[in-house]
Amino acid sequence: MATERARRQRRGKLGTLIGVGVLLGGMTVLTSYSTTIYNLFCQVTGYGGTTQVADATEVPVLDREMKVRFNADTARGMPWGFFPEQREMVVKVGERHLAFYKAVNNSNRPVLGQAAYNVTPQKMGLYFDKIDCFCFTEQLLMPGQSMDMPVSFYIDPKMAEDENVDEVRTVTLSYTFFDLGEEGLQSYLERTGRKLEDFATAAPGTSLADGARTGSLPRPAGG
């Protein structure tokens, strides 16, 4: 009797240990992928004003007009000047447009930057579609170099089916550039197989965005 009770107790303890192990393992996996899962969630739902990535497929153009405002910021310690080259534009829903931002490296060192982005009101994140954007990749500027950076976008006509955004007439597209630091720069060079000399092809203060003004998006730095 005592022996059977002891066996049951051992089985109970073993089951508890297995259960705890599975729970901890699940928590570890969830923690490891939480950022990826969160980013995917934001991209799919537009949560937090996260914009969508679209292809070049034509969509219907509606008579409804929207005002798009453009905002630019840099994170603390980022030695770039960064600003929109137009403050706002009026667009038709579904109509493709090209807007420009400009960045200037005001430091005496190469700086690798990455832009975070969102739109306000945040509920419009689901309907602000980017076809191409400088924010999709890191951008490297040498000391004194500048870059005209275009973003190709449209507002999804599906918004006309959503009563929750009926009152929206103005959307603000915001970017914040972050300095990825020396470690990020070295990792980027190793990953792309490039050298700093490859980027020192323009004189200080000149644009690196070949063809941007004619509507042809520039090749991203490192691309």
**DSSP-derived 3-state class of residue 164:** helix
Determine the pLDDT at residue 200: 72
| C-alpha to C-alpha distance for 124 and 129, rounded to whole angstroms | 10
Determine the pLDDT at residue 54: 59
Determine the pLDDT at residue 208: 41
Determine the pLDDT at residue 28: 43
Measured from the Cβ of residue 92, the count of other Cβ atoms closer than 10 Å reads: 16
Determine the pLDDT at residue 4: 59
| C-alpha to C-alpha distance for 80 and 142, rounded to whole angstroms | 11
Burial of 202 (0-12, 13-18, 19+ CB in 10 A): middle
DSSP secondary-structure letter at 85? S
- Summarize pLDDT for 32-71 with one digit per residue, the tens: 333 333 344 344 433 444 556 655 678 899 999 999 999 9
Determine the pLDDT at residue 203: 45
Q: State the 10-residue block means of pLDDT for the chain, 223 residues long.
A: 57 52 46 38 42 70 96 97 97 96 96 95 94 93 95 95 96 97 95 86 45 38 33
Determine the pLDDT at residue 197: 85
Reply yes or no: is the peptide bond before residue 121 cis, omega within 30 of 0: yes
pTM (2 d.p.):
0.69
Determine the pLDDT at residue 51: 54
Determine the pLDDT at residue 219: 36
Structure tokens at 162: 């959503």
| C-alpha to C-alpha distance for 223 and 217, rounded to whole angstroms | 12
